[in-house]
Amino acid sequence: MKTNLFTLGIAAAVGSLGFSGSVVAQAQATSLVISPTGMGHMLVVPYYTAQGGNATRLQIVNADKINGKLVKVRFRGASNADNVFDFTLLLGPADVWTAEVSQNPNNGFARMRTSDNTCTLPTQINQDFIGARLNPASSRSNETREGYIEIVTTANIPPTSTVFPAIKHTNGNTPAPCTNGASLPVALRPLLTEVGGAAAGLGNPTTGLLANWTIHNVNEATAWSGEATAIVAVDSAGLPGYGNIVASPQAIGVPSAVASGTPITNLTADPLLASGAVAIQLYDLPDLSTPYISGWNAAQQAARLSTVLAKASLTNEYLTDDVSQAQTDWVFTLPTRRYSVALNHATGLPVFTVLSPPYFNATNTTVAGVGGEREVCATGIGRQFWSQSEQSSPVVLPTTPTHLCGGVSVWSINGGDATAPSVVSANVTRQNIELGNQDGWGEISTPGIYRYPVILGSHGLPVMGMAFTKTPGMYAGSSIGRVWTHRFTEPKPATVIRF
């Protein structure tokens, strides 16, 4: 059976919005898990930055040699995980797309730059990021320069699709110019409407997507790199399967499903969109919570993704000694926090979507900051640090409890103060953590304890990230960059208390 975004086994009345296509030779997926192979249906790039002379290079690869992929790419800001830039990418089979995000020196906004000839919608993505969804009282340009990236395969583009001839490279060239402002090929124009997309012959999305990222600073001759975290939809046997088609036009307008009365909560768990605080548009779909599995609603998908990403604790090293002139930033990304809680910029208050379990709720979150620079923070974060000689390292500053603030939180270890440069020049959600030792390792523990008398056990928090370190290089003005992914422990299973 083939399903699509707007059927989902929930509301047949909205089936007219779905894109159709032939069934792929895999089983229908029944769950989402972290991919052990690094390839999947969805990807999360945990950090991008265009701060302080940094630029972020992104490469997205379609390892499927037969089918093209219709892919939604969304950049979310560090502070509130607001949408700051999104577009649709049309990868041919075995195709690679590359681009770079840097700061526009004229206005301070992050901007996209690519010379890649892979098709995109819109065709012109060499442009500045957009601050319309950001807090109007904030420094909007600064808010666009840090965050994380969501990447979702919304549909396959099989060779039988009417779209396929327009995205398949031939001798290294696309059949028709379709990027960097060139006119849109006729075959792709139907994708700009729901009706046209439904007749394009798209197929259910299968696995095969991977991505790599590199943050580099030319002036400092420094670079850091890593891989995107891959999420794969698997069948009942645990093998990669096919998900619901979740494609939506890259266009302005209310989805026809919503206009016809379908609850927005069937399509996204984003609390601002679901509550109407932000008017939903076609380009808002899909996101990571849009149901990929038949029978799920958006809150169930957000909860499942949160569960597979949940950590009870995170562990990493820090190097800040004066001899080597080392510096360390710890980056923490909460890629599903946006689907539990978001800040309503009009009221300054958090808005929640209740998940099960409730990873983020009124008891473990607070709103921090002043004026326009405000973000939701996860509270109750435990912290403990050690030297390289087994000795406990006291936390000198902050003396108050430590929070994970924003969609991306950056801790500068022994950074001097909140205004001194961090390793990655972070400043949107940066905190400084002053320790009693210069080098060593540390562990943070996450909140999320089920309370007696119902259940005892920890469900942790959905969080990922890494340590960025920097030491001077051999040549004047150069540096050596290193990235160490946070190691972790998983939450303990809950135990039901019986009476």
Give 266-321 pLDDT, tens digit per residue. Answer: 999 999 999 999 999 999 999 999 999 999 999 999 999 999 999 999 999 999 99
Q: 18-27, 171-180, 469-478: which has the minimum mean pLDDT?
A: 18-27
pLDDT the model gives residue 439:
97
Q: 137, 107, 121: which is closest to 73 by C-alpha?
A: 121
DSSP three-state, residue 27: coil
6 occurs within a structural domain: no
Q: Are residues 353 and 269 in the same domain?
A: no
Residues 291 and 334 in one domain: no
Q: Rounded to the nearest 5°, which phi and psi values hold at 256? A: -60, -30
Is position 19 within any domain? yes
Asked whether residue 421 is domain-assigned, the answer is: yes
Within 8 A by CB and 6+ apart from 320, the residues are 326, 327, 328, 413, 414, 435, 438, 439
**Is there a single domain that holds both residue 387 and residue 415?**
yes
Q: Alpha helix locations (H) across 89-226? A: 140-143, 164-167, 194-198
Q: What's the pLDDT at 10?
A: 29
Average pLDDT over residues 334-357: 96
In this predicted structure, the answer to whether residue 197 has a pLDDT above a threshold of 60 is: yes
377 and 292 within one domain: no
Chain position carrying tokens 């790199």: 225
pLDDT at 492: 73
* 303 shares a domain with 314: no
Looking at residues 81-88, what average pLDDT do you find? 98
Q: Are residues 322 and 278 located together in one domain of the fold?
A: no
Average pLDDT value over all residues in the chain? 90
pLDDT of 16 higher than 80: no
DSSP secondary-structure letter at 401? P
What digits encode the pLDDT tens for the residues 294-308? Answer: 999 999 999 999 999
For residue 457, what pLDDT is reported? 58
Give which of 205, 246, 214 is closest to 45, Cα–Cα. Answer: 214
pLDDT at residue number 185: 85
Q: How many CB atoms lie within 10 A of CB 100?
A: 16
The domain total for the chain is 2
Give the integer Cα–Cα distance in Å for 47 and 465.
Answer: 8
CB 156 within 8 A of CB 21: yes
Give the torsion through C-alpha atoms of 287, 142, 99, 196, to 10 deg.
40
Query: What element of type H or E holds 423?
Result: none
In 3-state terms the chain splits into helix, strand, coil percentages (rounded to 5) of 10, 40, 50
- Predicted confidence at residue 180, as pLDDT, reads 65
Band the pLDDT of 93: cuts 50, 70, 90. Answer: very high
Asked if 123 and 203 sit in the same domain, the reply is yes
Which of 300-304, 323-327, 490-494 has the lowest average pLDDT?
Answer: 490-494
31 found inside a domain: yes
- Does residue 5 fall inside a structural domain? no
Using the 3D structure, point to which of 286, 308, 330 is the last residue of a domain. Answer: 308
Do residue 72 and residue 176 come from a single domain?
Answer: yes
pLDDT, one tens digit per residue, over 415-434 is: 886 666 789 999 999 999 99
0.85 exceeded by pTM: yes
Please report whether residue 119 resides in a domain: yes
Structure tokens at 307: 């569960």
Higher pLDDT residue, 477 or 342?
Answer: 342
Per-residue model confidence (pLDDT) at position 99: 97
pLDDT of residue 494: 57
Same domain, 291 and 319: no
Q: What percent of the chain has pLDDT over 90?
A: 78
* Domain shared by 378 and 392, yes or no: yes
β-bridge pairing 408-413 and 430-435: parallel
385 and 412 co-located in one domain: yes
Q: Over 50: is that where the pLDDT of 3 sits? A: no
The residue behind tokens 């923490």 is: 332
C-alpha 27: how far from chain center:
27
Domain boundary (284, 308, 332) is at 308
Where does a domain end: 290, 308, 326? 308
3-state secondary structure of 412: strand
User: Is the domain of 106 the same as that of 182?
Assistant: yes
**In angstroms, rounded to a whole number, what is the distance separating the alpha carbons of residues 349 and 206?**
39
CA atoms within 13 A on the CB side of 450: 16
Q: Is residue 350 part of a domain?
A: yes
Domain that holds residue 249: 12-308
User: Does residue 356 sit within a domain?
Assistant: yes
